[in-house]
Structure 1
Amino acid sequence: MLAKMANNAYTEPGQKDWYDIGSQWNNSYPFGWEPDADGFRGHIFATPDNSTVIISVKGTSLMWPVGGGGPTQRKDKLNDNLLFSCCCARVGPTWSTVCDCYEGNYKCDQGCLEKSLAEESLFYSIGMNLYNNVTYMYPNSNIWLIGHSLGGALASLVGVTFGAPVVAFEAPAERLAATRLHLPSPPSTHHVTHVYNTGDPIPMGTCTGVSSTCALAGIALETRCHLGQVIRYDTVSKLGWSANVVHHGIQALIDGVLAKEDLDWGDDGKMRSVPAITTEDDCVDCFNWEFGDYRNASATGCRGRSK
């Protein structure tokens, strides 16, 4: 059900790709769907008695195998490149960076990165404002955040900020962004659950390099370490899937993975209808980069960058 709600963040009621979620939930309260809106959007679902409220955040919409484009794609790409790249989407010398923090020779200014993620116009800040508004509207409700892809990562970052439960589907790894935003770190993030499959190179952190599908779409998705708990469906071993972005779409997860209720997802000799929960504690992001206070020569001994 949560995955279907995450799918519905991309569309509107009555559209052919809208999943019916049953009478136990209202149709939805949309946000960001105004005619001139071109950014953060999704739907809010609530039970009839308002005891449970779910904020579903839309992910990236692009003209590639897992998306259909749309008015939000420019801002989607900007937020992707800021949140999930090592340094301002500096993939190669021909790339236009999304912030001015690169110092050369795989060095990046940490303070600059932190400031670039805290801009009020970015989706994380907008998501915090939305969450505050929802808590005002539903002061006695149990509020969850969910989302797919970029939407899942944003749900996680906002959920970690406020301590709300989160379920993210096929989301790029957000732990590095959380560190740069100075958010709580493990083990206090176990209220976040990531669900993804091994045939999707985006949450696996392998959609990288100048010739990757992600780079060809203009997105630098270089992180691989997730916050919280992880439910990882091994579709490569169990279903014979290859690593391909066609396996990133939320409908591929719903119809190709979650619908297979009789399949054994265990890898420890036990029959499991759902993979065992794990964490990514030993994961390292951007190991070939150096991050420091390069623009404060008195603090680091490094030569400051001229403005």
Structure 2
Amino acid sequence: MVAFPIDKQVLSDRTFEAITALIYEAIGLSLNASKKSLVASRLGPRIQRLGLGGFDDYLALLRDEAEAAEFQMAVDLLTTNETYFFREPAHYQVLEQELASRSNKNAPLAVWSAASSFGDEAYSTAMLLADLQQAGRIGADWHILGTDISHRVLLAAKEAVYPEDRLRNVSPERLRRYCLRGEGPAQGQAMIQARLRERVRFGQLNLCKPFSGIGPFDVVFLRNVLIYFDAETKRQVVDRVVATLRPGGLFFLGTAEGRVPAEVPLTVIVPGAFRKPSKV
């Protein structure tokens, strides 16, 4: 396969529609015909860097489920990225403080990232918990569940390969401990190390429908997903999710989402961080 100059690459209507359909199916992002030139300009340099023959070859790559990391790279190139490691760092500070103050530091710890997307949130939490374990502030019995409605983003989450910019809020020490940097065609990407990936499992789940068989959890993240739902659906989703929390458990929403009505009264710790009552 021979690469050709970027100015010679042509994105046909058919290939544009196929690429945008994949993106829409995975993350719900709609790119209409007016975005064709944007798609071409964002993906063209990536195609050239990979040494591919053009947009049709890149489409074939995106359709290959074994290339989940490349699909994620395409999503990042086509969006104003709002998914990244240690987003809303105040929440991780609250989590660290709350866990370190538990009376039984060796008690099992279960965390749920309920709208995990590509896994940034789940692996950020895993880095924090691994650090706390190493410092003797929590025990070794902890695990994280990440769920999402999109099969394709879950494949990428399991692969755990990320554009380096997504890890811009990860400290150099954590990057050394928990990440492997790519070389060659993988330059500009980083993989989460196996010892951390083993702590996180992913599964498909639709929050808008009743579910069972998961939990109970000590910590639940439900951040930056409720904005897609109407008021009644928000209430139903929050009630379902909070029901999986143990009494006294921690519940996190996106800071900009405010406070969503819930059947169980929640105590505010900081904006977006709540505690479920110890007795319900």
Instruction: Please say whether Structure 1 and Structure 2 have the same fold, judged by a TM-score greater than 0.5.
Output: no
State the TM bucket, normalised to the shorter chain.
Answer: under 0.3
Q: Which has the higher helix share?
A: 2
The TM-score normalised by the length of structure 1 is: 0.24
The TM-score normalised by the length of structure 2 is: 0.26
